[in-house]
């Protein structure tokens, strides 16, 4: 049985009481990501042990990984090659993947990042960020890295990719980081990627970061990091299109899924949106957001669908966030069938979140946020139901809420009322009653 299945069923049942609704399509089939990227079977198989890999948890296997992947890249077997990681703990420095490969982690296989941060390679900052996300200049390469690739699968029997992020979190806490921390896995300028049936643990920074990618499927993954681990976002589709995330469990120290598209003037110039992003049947917890858009959205974000989401012990359930200087258009965002329990804020949409890369951001580059649909949301122990704060010179428009029931921490008392400014749209069947901006108008939500 899938992790989170019980929660999900509960969410469906509760949602079904509020409105005719179900987890399946009219035909009774469960919607999935399949079809976006074909699952390729590979005849050619090699094992990391063929290249001297030793899974004793102490031996450094960097050479074995590099040689195995070099062999895949240069022998170019028809249909690609599967690299098998048998049970054992394989310590290694960061390494690069190649096209037409499957990285297969057997049950009990662990690929573990070395804690030698001094020798960690640096790469150039992303053009759409202009600098590292947390420090100026370059950034440490992701533990597992892919650039300009196609047809890559990371899968297996729920083996683990362990970033051993503790040393990095401490450098962040002690303010001794020289450059931006490494992501656990990053694909850049790549297409046709599947990540499934893998456990990701203790990432130094963001866990899974597809940037400038298309056709990416992430399913049946488990992503774990302690709630106090800094910036350990689960999955951050960034300036990427046709990304499908489903049937996963994420519990980290930051946003579970955050859709992004570049940072202020750099992102505006790079102009690569994130679009056609599907997130479904996701369960998790975090002191930050469950489903987030932003705050780096300068290339624009559109056509996002998040549905059947179950959140427990959260900071914010649904968080759309941007800032002055970001520019970018966020539009056509649908979030539906969300169940949340023990949450500080249910829904937050705001334009004052996150920092700037430098002082050269354009204060006149106002973000635009429109056509948002949030429906069938049910919550218990929600301290504050909702906050929506647009900008005076760029109000949020066409924001529609329906069938939302968010109970306060104690049944008999009311939770903190909605707070809004500079927003227009409509609300129907929302409890507690949302702000006047959304109910006094006769706005037709279509
Ligand atoms: C890995 O890829 C990065 C980015 O393309 C590159 O800078 C680096 O040299 C590569 N590392 C190795 C060991 O090939
Ligand atoms: C791996 O974990 C996923 C997600 O929790 C689950 O659906 C799947 O059945 C597991 N697969 C194996 C081979 O254990
Ligand atoms: C809005 O996004 C959904 C996916 O969430 C897509 O199916 C739909 O076509 C989009 N609508 C428009 C007008 O682009």
Per-residue pLDDT tens over the stretch 61-92: 999 999 999 999 999 889 999 999 999 999 99
44 counts as catalytic: no
Is the minimum distance from the CB of 145 to ligand 1 under 6 angstroms?
yes
Distance of CA 332 from the midpoint of ligand 3 (Å): 6
Tens of pLDDT, residue by residue over 94-131, are 999 999 999 999 999 999 999 999 999 999 999 999 99
* CA 355/CA 59 separation, integer angstroms: 41
State yes or no: pLDDT of 301 exceeds 50: yes
Atom of ligand 1 nearest to the CA of 123: 7
The predicted model scores a pTM of 0.94
- Give, in order, the Cα–Cα distances in Å from 205 to each of 174, 237, 297: 15, 14, 19
**Ligand 3 pocket, CB under 6 A:** 303-305, 332, 334
What is the pLDDT confidence band of residue 444, given thresholds at 50, 70 and 90? confident
Minimum-distance ligand to the CA of 139?
A: 1
Please report the pLDDT score of residue 165 as a whole number. 98
Please state the rounded mean pLDDT for residues 41-48: 96
* CA 217/CA 192 separation, integer angstroms: 8
Minimum-distance ligand to the CA of 3?
A: 2
Q: Beta strand pairing status for 222-224 and 257-259?
A: unpaired
Distance of CA 254 from the midpoint of ligand 2 (Å): 24
Percent of the chain scoring above 90 in pLDDT:
87
Q: Which of 233, 254, 264, 398 is catalytic?
A: 254
Q: Which domains does the chain have, with CATH numbers?
A: 44-223 (2.160.20.10), 255-446 (2.160.20.10)
Element housing 8 (H / E): helix 5-18
Distance of CA 247 from the midpoint of ligand 2 (Å): 10
Please report the pLDDT score of residue 413 as a whole number. 63
Tens of pLDDT, residue by residue over 359-410, are 999 999 999 999 999 999 999 999 999 999 999 999 999 999 999 999 998 7
Please state the rounded mean pLDDT for residues 21-43: 75
Distance of CA 323 from the midpoint of ligand 2 (Å): 39
Tens of pLDDT, residue by residue over 315-350, are 999 999 999 999 999 999 999 999 999 999 999 999
What is the pLDDT confidence band of residue 412, given thresholds at 50, 70 and 90? low
Mean pLDDT of the chain: 93
């Amino acid at each position: 049985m899938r992790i989170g299945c019980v929660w999900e069923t509960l969410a469906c049942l509760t949602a079904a009481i509020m409105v005719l609704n179900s987890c399946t399509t009219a035909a009774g089939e469960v919607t999935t990501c399949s079809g976006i990227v074909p699952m390729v079977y590979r005849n050619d198989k090699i094992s990391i042990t063929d290249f001297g890999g030793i899974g004793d948890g102490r031996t450094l296997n960097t050479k074995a990984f590099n040689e195995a992947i070099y062999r895949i890249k240069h022998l170019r077997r028809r249909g690609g090659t599967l690299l098998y990681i048998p049970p054992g703990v394989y310590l290694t420095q960061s390494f690069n993947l190649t096209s037409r490969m499957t990285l297969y982690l057997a049950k009990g296989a662990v690929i573990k990042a070395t804690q030698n941060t001094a020798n960690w390679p640096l790469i150039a900052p992303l053009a759409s960020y202009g600098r590292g996300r947390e420090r100026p200049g370059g950034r440490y390469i992701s533990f597992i890295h892919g650039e300009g690739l196609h047809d890559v699968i990371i899968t297996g029997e729920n083996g683990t990719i362990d970033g051993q992020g503790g040393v990095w979190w401490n450098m962040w806490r002690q303010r001794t980081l020289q450059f931006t921390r490494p992501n656990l896995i990053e694909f850049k300028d790549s297409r046709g990627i599947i990540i499934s049936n893998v456990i990701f643990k203790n990432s130094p920074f963001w866990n899974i970061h597809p940037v400038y990618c298309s056709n990416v499927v992430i399913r049946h993954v488990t992503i774990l990091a302690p709630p106090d681990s800094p910036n350990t976002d689960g999955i951050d589709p960034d300036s990427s299109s046709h990304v499908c995330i489903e049937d996963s469990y994420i519990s980290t120290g930051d946003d579970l899924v955050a859709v992004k598209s570049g940072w202020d003037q750099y992102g505006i110039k790079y102009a690569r949106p994130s679009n056609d992003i599907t997130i479904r049947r996701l369960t998790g917890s975090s002191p930050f957001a469950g489903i987030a858009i932003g705050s780096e959205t300068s290339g624009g974000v559109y056509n996002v669908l998040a549905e059947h989401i179950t959140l427990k012990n959260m900071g914010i359930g649904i968080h759309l966030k941007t800032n002055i200087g970001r520019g970018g258009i966020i539009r056509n965002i649908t979030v539906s069938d969300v169940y949340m329990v023990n949450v500080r804020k249910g829904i937050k949409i705001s334009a004052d979140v996150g920092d700037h890369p430098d002082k050269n951001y354009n204060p006149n580059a106002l973000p635009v946020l429109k056509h948002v649909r949030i429906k069938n949301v049910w919550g218990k122990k929600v301290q504050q139901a909702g906050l929506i704060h647009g900008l005076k010179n760029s109000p949020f428009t066409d924001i529609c809420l329906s069938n939302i029931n968010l109970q306060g921490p104690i049944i008999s008392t009311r939770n903190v009322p909605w707070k809004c400014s500079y927003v227009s749209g409509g609300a129907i069947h929302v409890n507690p009653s949302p702000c006047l901006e959304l109910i006094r108008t006769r706005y037709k939500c279509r």
